[in-house]
Structure 1
Amino acid sequence: MPPATAFDALLVLSFGGPEGPDQVMPFLENVTRGRGIPPERLASVAEHYLHFGGVSPINGINRALIEQIRVELAERGEQLPVYFGNRNWHPFVEDTVAAMKSDGVRRAAVFSTSAWGGYSGCAQYQEDIARARGAVGEGAPELVKLRQFFDHPLLVNMFADGIAAAAATLPESVRGQARLVFTAHSIPLRAADRCGADLYARQVRYAASLVAAVAGYDDYDVVWQSRSGPPQVPWLEPDVGDHLSVLAQSGTAAVLVCPLGFVADHIEVVWDLDNELSKQAEELGIALARVSTPDAQPRFAQLVLELVEDAGTGRQPARVLGSQPVPAYGSSVNGQFCTAECQISGARPSAGSR
């Protein structure tokens, strides 16, 4: 059964980001509303966006991905309207779902731009869906969130190919000695504990093992990045910057940094890695190459449509299987893949940037 016969539409649901200097502070205030983040912290994060003209790459990347999905659908001879909605900035998901209702959409698949379980990666997107449907009211389309895809073969292969391409940019004299380091967004430990006993962190480590195996690396590191909030609040560690210093002390000459936790080159990638970590590596005398993310690759569009077909037909999803036990997806709640603990709002990460 093609996706067009199972769903009336596809909704790409993402985090959102500013698209001009005057939007930066309102966007950050939306992200952090009700969390008591000091204004000076917001001003500090705002500088990351202003460095790039006040524009987050994330909306442009998502629009490019949507266009690639449309190209893939056309090549398959299938028709499926594709919509775009965000949690924190225009186009807001509430407005998008209202437009979908007006267009006569009754049942839509929802692809959220996170591969992971846990609160921020999965359950919060379910909350977005519920909030949008509630705002639209009677006649709102049914919205079916697609599965977590951290172990999908296309995702694994995109990152593995990215590692090979990044390694080729390193000086030949140190290329064979490069240390592979996977990064993902850190979260507070209390948030990690809330969702299936550290579900998110286990999925990241598992996916790293899959990508490393395909890329041909027996040894690698998994670290975390982009933490924020009060220093007394413990987050997932080690931090990528601290780890880079440790590698330098051990004599490491080259590092491949793979931002496995991110499906797009948004602010945490282009600022935290391409800017701050790159400068640190230069000061430490380490050759650093950053691995590309899926962004709007044709294979990423194919992945999205495979998830749509899985949900529409009930077929077994494609997965790369590793030597470790597959981390649980959590129990199904109204057809969604998150643990019951993650359905409860609460222990949310403090403001970072996206």
Structure 2
Amino acid sequence: MPTEALLVLSFGGPERPEDVMPFLENVTRGRGIPRARLEAVAQHYYHFDGVSPINALNRAIIADVERELATAAIELPVYFGNRNWHPMAEDTVAQMKSDGIDSALVFATSAWGGYSGCRQYHEDIARARAAAGDGAPTLTRLRQYYDHPLMIETFGDAIRAAVASLPESDRAGARLVFTAHSVPIGADETSGPPADGGRLYSRQVAEAARLSAERAGFAEHDLVWQSRSGPPSVPWLEPDICDHLDALSADGVGAVVICPVGFVSDHLEVVWDLDNEASAKAAELGMSFARAATPGTDPRFARMVVELVNEARAGVPARRLGAVPAYGVGTDGTACRPGCCGS
């Protein structure tokens, strides 16, 4: 029986209507979000019968990773845990302990630096190990992978496929717009070590967008944000995707290709915020609209995960395309730098 494993660690999402409000309460615990706001967000989930796609998508990723590991003759069982909904990370790590797992690498379904994209996953790992108690497996998170060549190839190819889905007359003039999850400006400014200038999250997103646009053959592109939450008094990264569509329309742009570069898979904030709200806004403005696929279901994504595993286990050199730092195992062997993300 192997004593090493791989843990896929993610955000989590409801899988039936009665899960929706408890899930949202988990996500927002301690943040003082009014009940009315949670009920409004819940309607997005009820639009899809109370089921977020994220767990099913993660299980599909895990199946792909298991096949890639088998092909590479790497005997590494794969476990699945979440921050906010079942299977909870605490339960998964307890099962790993029961199964005799001594150590595991952790692949988080976030490619980014910053608090919610990186540091919070370290907190999840620490909480799960503490809950498992003495004998809990050692858990080491794999590095940030925003600029891995396989990620960028997948996004670039998805952009080209989205362009091809537009009416032929609209393709040449289509504007390429990248989106990622907005965060408070203050949180972005403190993401990454101060010695590196902070703003690690937004800089990594901008670099991933640049690399993906280059791969897709676009000389120009825009970067905007989506899925903001929280009180209006707190400034977040802008512009919002729908506001940007208004601005593009005013400038005479008649077609857009949206690439959700900040997301690994088509979970709720992609299928609601883009496939529903943004596409409806584009239709209202008379704009042709196409949305590029996310990379999680592409076979290259699982190959990337196995490459990251080999970086950590066998010292395989990291493959990176970007000029913005990416921290964690596989770069300098440390999970965090001093002062990174408010530490």
SS at match of 1:90: coil
Contact 1:30 1:88 in 2 (8 A): yes
**Cα 1:118–1:155, aligned 2, differ >3 Å: closer, same or farther?**
same
Aligned to 2:195: none
Contact 1:66 1:82 in 2 (8 A): yes
| Aligned amino acid, residue 305 of structure 1 | V
Contact 1:252 1:286 in 2 (8 A): yes
Aligned to 1:192: 188
Could you state the TM-score of these two structures normalised by the residue count of structure 1?
0.92
Correspondences of 1:163-242 after superposition (within 5 Å): 163-196=159-192, 197-242=198-243
1:88 to partner: Cα distance: 0.3
User: How far apart are the structure 2 equivalents of 1:119 and 1:296?
Assistant: 26
**Cα 1:334–1:139, aligned 2, differ >3 Å: closer, same or farther?**
farther
Contact 1:183 1:240 in 2 (8 A): yes
Which of 80, 87, 90 is residue 91 of structure 1 equivalent to?
A: 87
The gaps in structure 2 that reach 5 residues or longer are 193-197
Correspondences of 1:1-354 after superposition (within 5 Å): 8-196=4-192, 197-321=198-322, 325-327=323-325, 329=327, 335-337=334-336, 340-342=339-341, 344=343
**Cα 1:241–1:210, aligned 2, differ >3 Å: closer, same or farther?**
same
1:121 to partner: Cα distance: 0.4
1:70 to partner: Cα distance: 1.1
User: How far apart are the structure 1 equivalents of 2:228 and 2:11?
Assistant: 17
Aligned residues: 337
1:22 to partner: Cα distance: 0.2
SS at match of 1:183: strand
| Aligned amino acid, residue 220 of structure 1 | H
The gaps in structure 1 that reach 5 residues or longer are 345-354
Could you state the TM-score of these two structures normalised by the residue count of structure 2?
0.95
C-alpha RMSD over aligned residues: 1.8
| Aligned amino acid, residue 65 of structure 2 | I
Report which structure shows greater RCO (CA 8 Å, sep ≥6). Answer: 1
| Aligned amino acid, residue 89 of structure 1 | W
User: How far apart are the structure 2 equivalents of 1:211 and 1:79?
Assistant: 33
**Cα 1:132–1:271, aligned 2, differ >3 Å: closer, same or farther?**
same
**Cα 1:328–1:303, aligned 2, differ >3 Å: closer, same or farther?**
closer
Contact 1:333 1:340 in 2 (8 A): no
User: How far apart are the structure 1 equivalents of 2:257 and 2:13?
Assistant: 27
1:95 to partner: Cα distance: 0.5
Contact 1:262 1:293 in 2 (8 A): yes
**Cα 1:338–1:157, aligned 2, differ >3 Å: closer, same or farther?**
farther
